[in-house]
Chains A and B, each alone.
Chain A
Amino acid sequence: KAGVTQTPRYLIKTRGQQVTLSCSPISGHRSVSWYQQTPGQGLQFLFEYFSETQRNKGNFPGRFSGRQFSNSRSEMNVSTLELGDSALYLCASSLGRTSGFNNEQFFGPGTRLTVL
């Protein structure tokens, strides 16, 4: 079974631009979460989607947004990029059963975003 895929793997942008990152979950998984990883702040939760609905959102400015499509694929968008947005953005998928949250999340390789 194919794992979580993220595209692109690497991205270089300049301040003020916007960027869209894509995530394809494991087949059959309906829940997708996004995390930002930086050396200073560690792993921070961005958002979580289940069946095209945002179920939870982390403490990030409105420049960060996301969505999920009917095939469970997800995108996140960052507008008006700042230097501090440079990070590894990780996508994770899980079965997302509403009966419980004991299902582990499977992570993709991440998208390395560099803002110049």
Chain B
Amino acid sequence: AQSVAQPEDQVNVAEGNPLTVKCTYSVSGNPYLFWYVQYPNRGLQFLLKYITGDNLVKGSYGFEAEFKKSQTSFHLKKPSALVSDSALYFCAVRDRSGNTGKLIFGQGTTLQVKP
């Protein structure tokens, strides 16, 4: 079965410090991977995706993610965190089991950036 795991429920970081939100996946074949962010009382906003090509993907708001096939990981990173980055982050993988665009989400990681 295909799945995504976000091993940390919460990540705390000081403003200005680098941040990492972890994600590992389990899929058959090549994965299509996505990161989304959710602010309180809002829907999900797309940050970035990995489909193929360069393993380092750059996305919105200064975020980037590195695809590591050998470690089946797709960690989200930012060199310098902002208080406004505090939100709920979801990693997702496209379901490859059929002709579908269905996303399988991780359980989410709350990022808390303190001033």
B63 contacts the other chain (Cβ, under 8 Å)?
Answer: no
**Complex partner residue of A45 from B36, B44, B98, B103, CB under 8 angstroms:** B103
Contact A107-B34, Cβ < 8 Å, known A33-B102, A42-B105, A101-B94: no
Is A106 part of the binding interface, using a Cβ–Cβ cutoff of 8 Å?
yes
Q: Is B14 interfacial (CB-CB < 8 Å)?
A: no
Contacts of B46 in A (CB 8 A): 104-107
Within 8 A of A (CB), among B53-81: none
Residue in A94, A109, A110 whose CB lies within 8 Å of B101: A94
Asked if A110 and B100 sit within 8 Å, CB to CB, the answer is: no
- CB-CB contacts below 8 Å: A39-83 with B: 42-43, 45, 48, 55-56, 58
Closest to A96 in B: B101
CB pair A101 B100 closer than 8 Å: yes
Question: What would be 15 A-B contacts, judged by CB atoms less than 8 Å apart?
Answer: A31-B101, A35-B103, A43-B103, A43-B108, A45-B102, A45-B103, A48-B102, A56-B100, A90-B44, A101-B32, A102-B49, A102-B51, A105-B103, A106-B46, A108-B43
Query: With a CB–CB cut-off of 8 A, which chain A residues contact B106?
Result: 42
Within 8 A of A (CB), among B72-115: 90, 94-95, 98-108
The 3 closest A-B pairs by CB, nearest first: A107-B43, A43-B105, A107-B44
Interface string of A92-116 (1 = CB under 8 A from B): 1010101001111111111000000
How far, in Å, is B7 (CB) from chain A's closest CB?
14
Q: Any chain A CB within 8 A of the CB of B45? A: yes
Judge whether A21 is part of the interface by a CB distance below 8 angstroms: no
Q: Kindly state the separation between the CA atoms of A104 and B33 in the bound complex, as whole angstroms.
A: 10
Q: Are B108 and A42 in contact (CB under 8 A)?
A: yes
Query: How far is B103's CA from A96's CA once the two chains are assembled, in angstroms?
Result: 13
Give the residue of B34, B43, B99, B108 whose beta carbon is less than 8 angstroms from that of A4. Answer: B43
Closest B residue, CB atoms, query A44: B105
Complex Cα distance, B96 from A56, in Å, reads 12
Chain B positions within 8 Å of A4 at CB level: 43
* Contact of B43 with A55 in the complex, beta carbons under 8 Å: no
Q: A43-B105, A48-B100, A102-B94 are in contact. List 4 more A-B contacts (CB 8 A).
A: A45-B104, A55-B100, A107-B44, A110-B43
